[in-house]
Amino acid sequence: MIKIIYSYNAENVGVSAAKVMADVIKNKPDAVLGLATGSSPIGMYSELIKMCKNGEISFKDVRSVNLDEYVGLSKDHDQSYSYFMHKNLFDHIDIKEENTNLPCGLCKDPEAECKRYDKVIESMGGIDIQVLGIGNNGHIGFNEPSDYFSLGTGLVQLTDSTIDANSRFFATRDMVPTQALSMGVGQIMASNKVLLIAIGEGKAEILEKALFGKVTPQVPASILQFFKGEVVVCADRAALSVIMKKHPEAVKAN
Ligand code: GLP
239 part of a folded domain: no
Query: What's residue 254's pLDDT?
Result: 67
Query: What's residue 2's pLDDT?
Result: 96
Q: Give the distance (Å) from ligand 1 centre to CA of residue 58.
A: 26
Nearest atom (ligand 1) to Cα of 197: 14
Determine the Cα–Cα distance for residues 101 and 127; give it in Å rounded to an integer: 12
Determine the Cα–Cα distance for residues 155 and 164; give it in Å rounded to an integer: 19
Is the model's pLDDT at 204 over the cut of 80?
Answer: yes
Domain that holds residue 105: 2-234
119 part of a folded domain: yes
Q: 208-238 pLDDT, tens per residue?
A: 999 999 999 999 999 999 999 999 999 999 9
Specify the CATH number for the domain of residue 115.
3.40.50.1360
- Determine which helix (DSSP H) or strand (DSSP E) holds 125, and give its type and residue range: none
Q: Indicate the top mutation candidate among 13, 35, 37 to test ligand 1's pocket, ranked by most ligand atoms within 8 A of CB.
A: 37
| Residue 200 beta carbon below 6 angstroms from any ligand 1 atom | no
Position 137 confidence tier, pLDDT thresholds 50, 70, 90: very high
244 part of a folded domain: no
Strand 251-253's sheet: what is its strand order? Answer: 100-101, 63-66, 32-35, 129-132, 193-198, 230-236, 2-7, 251-253
Q: Give the distance (Å) from ligand 1 centre to CA of residue 96.
A: 25
Q: Which long-range contacts (CB under 8 A, 24 or more apart) does 114-118 make?
A: 114/152, 114/153, 114/154, 114/155, 114/181, 115/153, 117/153, 117/181, 117/183, 118/152, 118/153, 118/187
126 part of a folded domain: yes
| Residue 162 beta carbon below 6 angstroms from any ligand 1 atom | yes
168 part of a folded domain: yes
Q: 26-43 pLDDT, tens per residue?
A: 999 999 999 999 999 999
Determine the Cα–Cα distance for residues 83 and 150; give it in Å rounded to an integer: 26
Record the pTM.
Answer: 0.96
DSSP-derived secondary structure letter, 143: B
69 is catalytic: no
Q: Which residue in the list 69, 99, 139, 143 is annotated as catalytic?
A: 139
Query: What's residue 253's pLDDT?
Result: 74
Q: Give the distance (Å) from ligand 1 centre to CA of residue 154.
A: 17
Position 44 confidence tier, pLDDT thresholds 50, 70, 90: very high
**Average pLDDT over all residues of the chain:** 96
Task: Determine the 3-state secondary structure of 49 from DSSP.
Answer: helix
249 part of a folded domain: no
Q: 173-193 pLDDT, tens per residue?
A: 999 999 999 999 999 999 999
247 is catalytic: no
Number of domains in the chain: 1
144 is catalytic: yes
Q: 69-102 pLDDT, tens per residue?
A: 999 999 999 999 999 999 999 999 999 999 999 9
Report percent pLDDT > 70 for the chain: 100
104 part of a folded domain: yes
Query: What's residue 252's pLDDT?
Result: 78
